[in-house]
Each structure stands twice: as C-alpha cells, then as structure tokens.
Amino acid sequence: MTLEIWRIITCVILIILVVKRANIVAIFAKQKYAKKDYEGAIKIFKVANIIGNLSIKNKELYGYALLRCGHVDEAQVQFRNTLPLTKADSADRYQLKNLIALTYWKQGNLPDAIEELEEVVETGYKNTQIYQNLGILYNLSDNHEKAKKFNEEAYEYNKDDSIICDNLADIYAICGEYEKSKQIYEELHSFEPEPRFPEAYYGYGKVLIELGEKEKGIEMIEKSLTKPFSYLSIRPKEEIEKLLSDVKNERL
C-alpha cells in the first residue's frame, strides 16, 4: 500500500478511537462486572461516563452496577439522565423505567415504584422482567387481590421463569392459599438448574411450616441462607436468620 493509503487508514482508526473512546474504556468495566467486581466496574464506568459519548446500554449497566452496590440515589440520577436519550416507546426507555422503579422501591417509595412500572404496562409493553419486578412490588403492597391477578397473568405469560413462579407462590401464601402456593413451589423446585435466589427457599419453607411440615420447612429456610443475597434481595439475610431462629424456637 502507498503512504497515502496508510495515512487514510490511520486517520480512520484515530477517528474511531475518538468517537468510541468511552465505550472502549467501558469494555474494561464490563470485564470487572462479569467477574462480579461491581465496585471496580463502577470506578471504570465513572471514567468512561466523564469521557462522554457512552452508549445507552453502557449507561444503563453503569446505573445497574450502582444500584447493585446500594448507591441508589446515584443510580436513579444515572437512569434519569439516560432516559431522554432513548426513543419514545422503545425497549431501552421501558427498561430504564423498570430500573427507575427499583430505585424507588429501595428508597422506600413503593407507590412511586409501582406507578413507574404501571405506566409501562399501560402502554401495552410487557416482558418477563416487567412481570417479575411489578409482581414483586405488588406482593409488597396491600392490594393482595390485584397482586394475585397480576402474578397469575405473569404465570400464563411465562410459567418457566423461576422469579415469576416464586411471585405467584408468594402471593398465594400471603392470601392464605397454602396448598396452591405449595404446588407452585414444588413446580419451581423441579426446575433444572435449581433456583439460585433465597426467596425460592425461605418462602417455600414458611408454606411447609404452615402446612405442618416443620422439619422440611426448616430445611428449606436453612438452604435459603446458602444462596447469594444481594442489595436487591427482597428480604435481608439477617431477617431470614431471625426467621429461622424463631421457627426453631417455635415462636413463629
């Protein structure tokens, strides 16, 4: 190749590096994230975000890393700043609203969390993640009939999803329908691989205890404590440890 062609190629490469520089830096953040080093990922994402021109997906992942680590206010700001960059009625916009709802929940603002996701559902947009998260939020609310109806709809939408199954089993238990709850939990625990989140075990354990199967119930609650808890877990590990202690001391 001539010197002129090499100059053109060099210029093109430099332009790509300048335009994509933030997303190139974000590659290293995503490597940290994949290794579950979320705080490490946040530090690199912060640099990439300052550089500018970070993609919507990378901005979203940056915000989610913040949320996972409990930096809720920062996560919400990140999501809200990214929202105007998305197209109306796009999957990116609805996913950001889904994540904003989680920040409201973790700030203790359940009504606004529910409202945020109901706005998405009212557009006609529904997917497994929307059903998962709104199902959880409804279960935490006082409107049990609404929660049950929604989680039954979610189950019809995707009965192979473990979180959707857990939500339905949970609301049946909340409504005192323990046999129906047990049936869904048994279905959930037949999945391969088995669920990795603690809710699937301590919820099942509580139902078994209500049905008189205390030993198996204790076994399930103990197993829940071997599963990974996170900032986004519905109940903190300390609460489940207390539940187990109460059950063993017959104070439940």
How many CB atoms within 10 Å of residue 217? Answer: 22
- Give the contacts of 116 (CB within 8 A, at least 6 positions apart): 97, 98, 100, 101, 104
Q: Integer distance in angstroms from the first to the last C-alpha of the chain?
A: 80
Contact 62, 45 (CB under 8 A): yes
- Give the contacts of 112 (CB within 8 A, at least 6 positions apart): 104
Report how far residue 134's alpha carbon sits from residue 130's, in angstroms, rounded to the nearest whole number: 6
- In the chain, list all ranges with CATH 1.25.40.10: 20-125, 126-252
Report how far residue 86's alpha carbon sits from residue 117's, in angstroms, rounded to the nearest whole number: 17
pTM confidence score: 0.88
How many CB atoms within 10 Å of residue 48? Answer: 24
Top CATH class of 20-125 equals mainly alpha
The DSSP result for 173-209, as a single string, is HHTT-HHHHHHHHHHHTTSSSPP-STHHHHHHHHHHH
Report how far residue 185's alpha carbon sits from residue 172's, in angstroms, rounded to the nearest whole number: 10
Q: How many CA atoms lie within 13 A of 178 on its CB side?
A: 12
pLDDT score, position 187: 97
pLDDT score, position 6: 43
User: Any idea which architecture 126-252 has in CATH?
Assistant: Alpha Horseshoe (1.25)
The amino acid that residue 169 corresponds to is A
| pLDDT in single tens digits along all 252 residues of the chain | 565 444 433 433 333 333 456 788 888 889 999 999 999 999 999 988 888 778 999 999 999 999 999 999 999 999 999 999 999 989 999 999 999 999 999 999 999 999 999 999 999 999 999 999 999 999 999 999 999 999 999 999 999 999 999 999 999 999 999 999 999 999 999 998 899 999 999 999 999 999 999 999 999 999 999 999 999 999 999 999 999 999 988 754
